[in-house]
Every structure is written in structure tokens, then in C-alpha cells.
Amino acid sequence: MLSTVLAILAVLAFIALVPPVRRAVFSNPVLAIYRRILPDMSQTEKEAIDAGTVWWDGDLFSGAPDWDKLLATPQARLTADEQAFLDGPVEDLCAMTDDWEVTHERYDLPPAVWQFIKDKGFLGMIIPKRYGGLGFSALAHSAVVMKLATRSNAASVTVMVPNSLGPAELLLHYGTEEQKDHYLPRLAKGLEVPCFALTSPEAGSDAASIPDFGVVCKGMWQGKETLGMRVTWDKRYITLGPVATLLGLAFRLYDPEKLIGDKEDLGITCALVPTNTPGVNIGRRHLPLNAVFQNGPNSGKDVFMPLEWIIGGREYAGKGWMMLMNCLAAGRAISLPTSSVGGVKAMARYTGAYARVRSQFKMPIGKLEGVEEALGRIAANAYLMDAARVMTAGAVDAGEKPSVVSAIMKLHMTERIRKVVDDAMDIHGGKGICLGPNNWIGRGYQAIPVAITVEGANILTRSLIVFGQGAIRCHPYVLREMLAAKNEDRAAAALEFDAAISGHVVHTAKNGLRAFLHGLTGSAFAAAPELAAPEMRGYYKDLTRISAAFALIADVSMLVLGGSLKRKEKLSARLGDVLSMLYLGSATLKRFEDTGRPAEDLPLVHFSMQDVLYQAQQALDGVIANFPNRPVALLLRAALFPLGKRFRAPSDHLNQLCAQYLLAPSAGRDRLTEGMYLSKSEADPTGQLEAAFLATIACEPIEKKLREAVKNGLVVRRMQEDFSVLARDKGIITAEELALWQRKETLRKGVIKVDDFPQDFGRAEIAAKLEGAKPAIARAA
């Protein structure tokens, strides 16, 4: 028996170790099967997969992440100029923006705010200084948008969009020198307001199928016959479109007469079109859930434009999708995720303050366990989300264009703010649902679905993109196998595929063994960085275990399901969830190290890590429970959870510790909400809230005296009577304490006040106000 086993092992070793034999017996037959089952990939799909770079996501996909490499990555920091901009113009812009005026009275930013944005260079943050821009880093871009998002959604989006995917970004990477020299200085100075038009009524999330088209032809331009194109388009949801002077336009370009090459269908093309061009229809607005940033449709029919308007010139005709995917890989990682982090920071600070100021049942509502539970979630989300924001911006500044990470960030930052705002609204109750100048949560609550929907709807990002793109882009072998299978040189393909598939088999076997042993030993022997904080080492080990489990189940899913995995969107979504939790957990641990391991932050770190590990475990369990091949599912469960599921959701006690962060002033609270706008005026609703929060805490000893006096019958509390004056008169509190108490009461009543309006909600008064402002606006113009 032993001799038979040894003989079999010897044969297998001979096959594995002798390449010609291995190719003949194993890799060539597999290659033939692979070619038959490999689904065709369109050019746009290929360009989407090729876009961007692989960064830490590649480590997480490997099953053995190099934690020392991650921790050795320097923490991203702002320059002195960037910090000065945040402390100066950004602070000023926040102070001059009244969100109720913007969203209810004007449905737009006031003219003075628009001019300030242009004059101070907000529209040109990513444009290098040599073109007149600010030349800011991705971290600074992120910090500016985040701070604005804590004050005004309209201001944040107005600044965010020109610095994300749009004309400036495309020009910087692909524009001709002539295009750069002409447009970039004008964009930097605010002389041009840009927008980019991609989405069409018939092509939303499936943007690559846009029906808008252009035809290469000759036509008259400025009195001369010119080689150009006639373009027809119908776009919608275009942010800044109604006020744009420069329209970035995506369309499919055709050359039926082959005037510029030998192809008729050149592909998706991007052009820059001045909006005053004859035939451009632009200016009307959408109203996306009362988020009043400028957004609307535009269209044109047979609009003639020179070929020189193509971004990059005629050489870039048909390369538009590649350009868009590469730029989106970085831009999507910053814009919407950052504004979501800003919103969460604001909700954390405001909701905690409100929960301390607002009392019911003779106690601050923040001390009610139901409210406390929601506050704890808000605090932990704020910590984790900001950790992911800073780490991702740092990667972009280091030259990465992490396409898979950008999808993770967009998906999970916008989903988490949705949960945070729901929690915050539950805590605010009636205060939150009545809109008005004293409501600091309502407009944010309304606008959340906008972020969920744009730049790739979350439901499709989760089910199609995160794992679908990651499985090909981040896996160490899959893309190599695909490229080898598509190689028309049969001999070269055989060699390339043999190297890739052999490595893949070893990779899968190692991860299977790792996952099983880590599950059996509770991650005791998993990798963890030597320099990590001792209290965090267990989390590194657990993430390593999850990484190995994810790598194994991803490989098994691709092997067993093949091309059909693309259609198993629920399984793909859960696999993407595991990868996402690995990334968010990595960011959380790195933040703790980068910020000097503050002990005060430990509850937030523990809550965040326990939550991501639990969510990753549940996603893995969901894949196994729904895996179509049940025998394989049973083997996967035995390999990944040999002793059952051991990760648990964060405890109530840990949740309570996180909630306490938001209910009292502390360095930890300030660190958690660092970078947000804090009004210094008590006339401002949020400034009043912060003042009431501090005054309430300062007056708690006075309140204790007053309660005891009432309880002991020393003071009788009657309706409409200031019993604190009686307490002063009887010597229970001092005159100074009375003054503190009365100030606190004035602030408290202002905070809990709910807005009310005349029957027309003040529309007549608003109309008169705006009519009176017209002459001043005309003079300024």
C-alpha cells in the first residue's frame, strides 16, 4: 500500500516539476477548456479592468497581506499652504454660507459665494500652480471637500465636481499642450465653469452603451471648410451643467467615410465644447431631492465642432472610455467618500451635543440606552470612515489610481453615512423632521440617496464591480491566465498559461492550508507586524485569517462557477463585502498607529475592528450558505470554519464607551471630528448648539442643587415661573450660578426650538427679498 502511494506521489511530482510534461498532461488541456469557457470581453470591459493600479487591495487578495509594508507607508500630511487654505478661505466660505438661504430661498448659492469660490481658486485645486491653480494634494482636496460638506451640501458639491472627474482632470492627463495652455488657466481662475456630460436617458449605470454619437465630416467653421464632426446627444443629471461655460462631452464617434483612419466605429470619444456653441441646449435644472447644487440636462443635434475639440486631439478619438476609467479610478476615491465623511463628522458632533442638551424623563436623552446604542454606532463609523479617507487619499498622493479601492470607498462611505443619518434622525426626532433654518440634519437626510446613486449606483457597484473587477485586477494570477488564453501565438500562450496556472494552483493550495489552520488555531499563528501595538496584534492576525479564507473561496468560486459567477450577483456582492471589510479594517489599524496609539481611541478601534471582522465572517457564511454546488459548500465550511463562527458583533458595553465620546467635551471628541467647520457664533444654529452643549455640562452641578431643592420642598416649581430665581433668593444657588443657569436655559430653548412658518412658508417675503437684491446683483455683475 505504501509503495503504491509513494509511486503515485512520484508520478505527480514528475508531472509537476518537469515543465514539458506538466504542459502536456495538465496546463495545455486546461488552457483548451479555459479558452472555451472564457467569456468574450468587450473593449470597454477590458479598458475598465485595465484602468488604474493595484495597491493594498492586491495584498488583501493574496491571502497573505504584508502588514509591515502597509505600516511603513508614511502618513499623508497637509502642507503649510494647504492648511492655511483650510484655515482661511475654506473657513470663510463656510461662514458666509447659510444653508437654509441656499436650499429654501435661493435654490442656489448666493452670487457672492459663487464669486468667492471662483476668486479663491476653489475650482482649480487639482490644477498645477504653473497653470494658475492651487496644485493641492489629494489629501488637501479631500480635506477641503470634507469641511465644506459639514456646512453646505451645495457648496461641497460645487467645489468637488470640477476637481474630480471632469475637464481639468482629463486635460491634465490627456490634453494637448495647446488645450492645456488655453483652458487650464481659465479653469483655475474660475473664468470657465466646467461640467462633464456622460449619463444619457438610455445609459445610466451602463454608461459604456451611450447612444450619443458624432460623425466625422467636413463643415464650415469660422468661415473655412474644416474637418470636424457633427455630434448629437441627450444628457441628464449633469452637475454644474446649468451654469457651465465649458461642457465636457462623451459620445461614440463614427467615421463612415474613413476621413481620419481605416475604422468606421472609432469608439467613445471625449470633447470640450464651449456652451455658447450654436446648437448646444443647456441651462435647465433638475432638483435632486432638494439638494440645490446646479444639476440638469443638456442636448444638441448635429452640432458641428472641429476635431481639435477632442481632448488630446484627433489621436485620442475613440479612447474616451479608457480616459474616463483611468481618471475615475482616482477621482471616485476622493469626492463622494470625502463628502460622506464630512457629513458623518457633523452628525457625530451635532447629534452627541443634542443628545446631551435635550432631556426627557429627567435625564439627557443620550443616557437612554436606545439612544446610546445609536450614538455608539455613529462614533465608531466616524472613526473608521475617516481612517479610510486619509489612507486612500495618501495612496492617490503616492501615485496610485486604485480602481477597486475607489469602488469600495464610494460604496461603503455612502452606505455608512446613510446608516449614520438614519441613527441621527432617530435621535433628533421631531427636531429633525421639521425643516427650517434651525434644522441642521434635515437637508442632509434628504440628499443621501443622491450620493448613493451617482458615480455608479451602489446596488450595482456592490454586486458587479468590487469583486467582479477585483477578481481579475487584484488576483495575482487570473489576469495573466486570461491574457495568455487570448494570446494568438499558441506557443507563447502555452508557456504563459503554464506559468500562471501552476502558480495559481500553488497559491490556492497554500491559502486553503492557511485558512484551515488559522480557523483551527483561532489565528494564533497568523502573521502580524512586529511593530504593531500589542493590543492590536490579534486583529492583524484575524484579518490575515479572513484574507486567506477570502482568497480560497474566491478561487473556488471562479473554478466551480466559471463564467456564470458574473451572473451570480448576490454571491459576487458578498465576496466583495469580504474584500471591503478587509480594506476598512486595514485602514482602521493604520490610523491607530499613525495617530500615535491614543489610549482614548481604543473603544472606537475595538468596535470598528470587531464590526468589520463580524461582517466579513457573515459575508463568507452567506457565500457558503448559498453556494450552488452543495458538496463544495460543505468542504468550504469545513475549511473556513472548522470550529464554527467565532467572531461576534461588538458588545453593548463597548457600544456604550463609544457613545460617551460624543456626550462630553474631550480631546478624543475633537480628534474624531477634526477638520469640520465649527461656527463661533451663537446666532448660528450649530454655534448655538455647541454653546448649549458646553453650558449644559457646566450647569450640571447647579441642576443637581435645584433638583434637590425641589425634592426637599425648599423651592416649588410652577408653570411659567423661573424657579431658579427663587432658588437664588433662598440662597440655594449664587447670583453667578443663576446667571450661568439662565444663559444655559436660553441656549437650550433655542436648540430644542422647531421652526414654523406662515401659510405660504414665507414665499412672498422671499420673493420680495430676492427682487430687492436684483439691482445690487446687476451692479456687481
The Cα 39–Cα 279 span in angstroms is 42
Long-range CB pairs of 105-113, under 8 A, 24+ apart, other chains included:
105/766, 105/769, 105/770, 106/292, 106/770, 107/287, 107/292, 108/154, 108/292, 108/294, 109/154, 109/155, 109/158, 111/777, 111/780, 111/781, 112/780, 113/155
pLDDT, residue 477, reads 85
The Cα 556–Cα 640 span in angstroms is 12
**Nearest-CA neighbor of 737 among 692, 693, 706?**
706
Q: Judging by DSSP bridges, how do beta strands 213-221 and 194-197 pair with one another?
A: unpaired
Q: Judging by DSSP bridges, how do beta strands 194-197 and 246-254 pair with one another?
A: parallel
Amino acid at 619: A
Amino acid at 502: S
Interacting residues of 407 by C-beta distance below 8 A, sequence separation 6+:
332, 456, 461, 465, 466, 469
pLDDT, residue 2, reads 60
Interacting residues of 153 by C-beta distance below 8 A, sequence separation 6+:
99, 291, 293, 339, 443, 444, 447
**Secondary structure in 3-state letters for 258-287:** CCCCCCCEEEEEEEEEECCCCCCEECCCCC
Interacting residues of 386 by C-beta distance below 8 A, sequence separation 6+:
341, 345, 591, 672
pLDDT, residue 430, reads 95
Dihedral angle, C-alpha 695, 700, 701, 703, nearest 10 °:
110
**C-beta of residue 173 within 8 angstroms of C-beta of residue 146:** no
**Nearest-CA neighbor of 48 among 249, 315, 310, 324?**
324
pLDDT, residue 617, reads 98
What is the CB neighbour count within 10 angstroms for residue 290? 15
* Secondary structure (3-state) at 310: strand
The Cα 453–Cα 569 span in angstroms is 18
Long-range CB pairs of 496-499, under 8 A, 24+ apart, other chains included:
497/27, 497/30, 497/31, 497/34, 498/19, 498/22, 498/23, 498/27, 498/28
Q: Per-residue DSSP letters for 583-603? A: HHHHHHHHHHHHTT--GGGHH
Give the residues of the chain that fall short of pLDDT 70. Answer: 1-18, 37-49, 719-721, 773-781
The Cα 646–Cα 502 span in angstroms is 34
Q: Judging by DSSP bridges, how do beta strands 281-282 and 363-364 pair with one another?
A: unpaired
Q: Judging by DSSP bridges, how do beta strands 363-364 and 359-360 pair with one another?
A: antiparallel
Query: C-alpha grid cell for residue 627?
Result: 453556494
What is the CB neighbour count within 10 angstroms for residue 425? 19
What is the CB neighbour count within 10 angstroms for residue 128? 15
**C-beta of residue 743 within 8 angstroms of C-beta of residue 751:** no
The Cα 773–Cα 29 span in angstroms is 78
The Cα 44–Cα 325 span in angstroms is 9
Which of 455, 481, 496, 690 is catalytic? The answer is 455
**Nearest-CA neighbor of 341 among 614, 599, 489, 141?**
141
**C-beta of residue 259 within 8 angstroms of C-beta of residue 217:** yes
pLDDT, residue 16, reads 62
Interacting residues of 277 by C-beta distance below 8 A, sequence separation 6+:
303, 305
Find residue 295's DSSP bridge partners: 239
Helices H / strands E in the chain, number of each? 34, 9
Q: Judging by DSSP bridges, how do beta strands 246-254 and 224-239 pair with one another?
A: unpaired
The Cα 767–Cα 769 span in angstroms is 5
The Cα 565–Cα 23 span in angstroms is 27
Q: How far is CA 507 from the centre of its chain?
A: 32
pLDDT, residue 304, reads 97
* Secondary structure (3-state) at 237: strand
Q: Per-residue DSSP letters for 720-754? A: T--HHHHHHHTTSS-HHHHHHHHHHHHHHHHHH--
pLDDT, residue 5, reads 56
Q: What is the DSSP letter of 252?
A: E
Interacting residues of 699 by C-beta distance below 8 A, sequence separation 6+:
740, 741, 744
Q: How far is CA 712 from the centre of its chain?
A: 55
Q: What is the DSSP letter of 104?
A: I
Ranges of H-type helices in 569-651:
569-594, 602-625, 630-640
257 is catalytic: no
Looking from the CA of 444 toward its CB, the CA atoms found within 13 Å total 30
**C-beta of residue 542 within 8 angstroms of C-beta of residue 647:** yes
